[in-house]
Amino acid sequence: MNGPRPISRERYRVFYPISTRWQDNDIYGHVNNVTYYSYFDSAVNRYLIEEGGLDIHHAPVVGYVVNSSCDYRAAIAYPEEIEAGLRVEKLGNSSVTYGVGIFRRDGEEACAVGSFTHVFVDRVENRSVAIPPRIRMALEALLK
């Protein structure tokens, strides 16, 4: 039986460096599974802030995570330098599903691949709304 097909860097549009931390490792000596979700969240929100102009403190519309998943393919451990690759898999009116890949800094194959869905909501009324135009434009640039 063969393992999962490799997922290469070429499937992602933008990459962000991540420094693993001592606390990321678990008792087995590799990055704990829940930590990958923190990596996903950090990469996605960095993109929204830098490219989409999201003001995380004052924007009237913010993204709430409604779904996430991760497939683990190869262990990573502190003190490895890694990168998170991003792409948009599905772009709706008020939601977006990102594809996120975690790679060793010089690696070509993903160590983990995940999915991360945001629904954009009015911060005050807590109801879904259309993705703001500047953010939508930034997300369109990541469409696979």
SS3 87: strand
Determine, yes or no, domain membership for 55. Answer: yes
Determine, yes or no, domain membership for 1. Answer: no
What is the predicted pLDDT for the residue at 1? Answer: 43
Rounded-to-integer distance, Cα 45 and Cα 28, Å: 29
What is the predicted pLDDT for the residue at 5? Answer: 82
Evaluated on CA atoms 121, 125, 130, 134, the torsion sign reads negative
Q: Report pTM.
A: 0.93
Determine, yes or no, domain membership for 6. Answer: no
Helical H runs in 33-120?
A: 33-50
What is the domain count for the chain? 1
Which amino acid type is present at position 104? R
Which residues form the domain of 46? 11-140
Determine, yes or no, domain membership for 135. Answer: yes
Rounded-to-integer distance, Cα 71 and Cα 91, Å: 22
pLDDT by 10s per residue, the chain, length 144 = 456 788 999 999 999 999 999 999 999 999 999 999 999 999 999 999 999 999 999 999 999 999 999 999 999 999 999 999 999 999 999 999 999 999 999 999 999 999 999 999 999 999 999 999 999 999 999 997
Determine, yes or no, domain membership for 85. Answer: yes
What is the predicted pLDDT for the residue at 2? Answer: 54
Rounded-to-integer distance, Cα 54 and Cα 17, Å: 20
Q: What is the CATH number of the domain that holds 60?
A: 3.10.129.10
Determine, yes or no, domain membership for 3. Answer: no
Q: CA dist 101 to 43, 67, 115, 123, Å?
A: 10, 16, 9, 29
What is the predicted pLDDT for the residue at 93? Answer: 98
Determine, yes or no, domain membership for 4. Answer: no
Answer yes or no: are the C-beta atoms of 110 and 7 closer than 8 Å. Answer: yes
What is the predicted pLDDT for the residue at 6? Answer: 82
Identify the residue whose tokens are 């194959």.
109
Determine, yes or no, domain membership for 70. Answer: yes
Q: How many helices (H) and strands (E) does the chain have?
A: 2, 5
- Tokens at residue 108, please? 């070509």
Answer yes or no: are the C-beta atoms of 39 and 81 closer than 8 Å. Answer: no
What is the predicted pLDDT for the residue at 102? Answer: 98
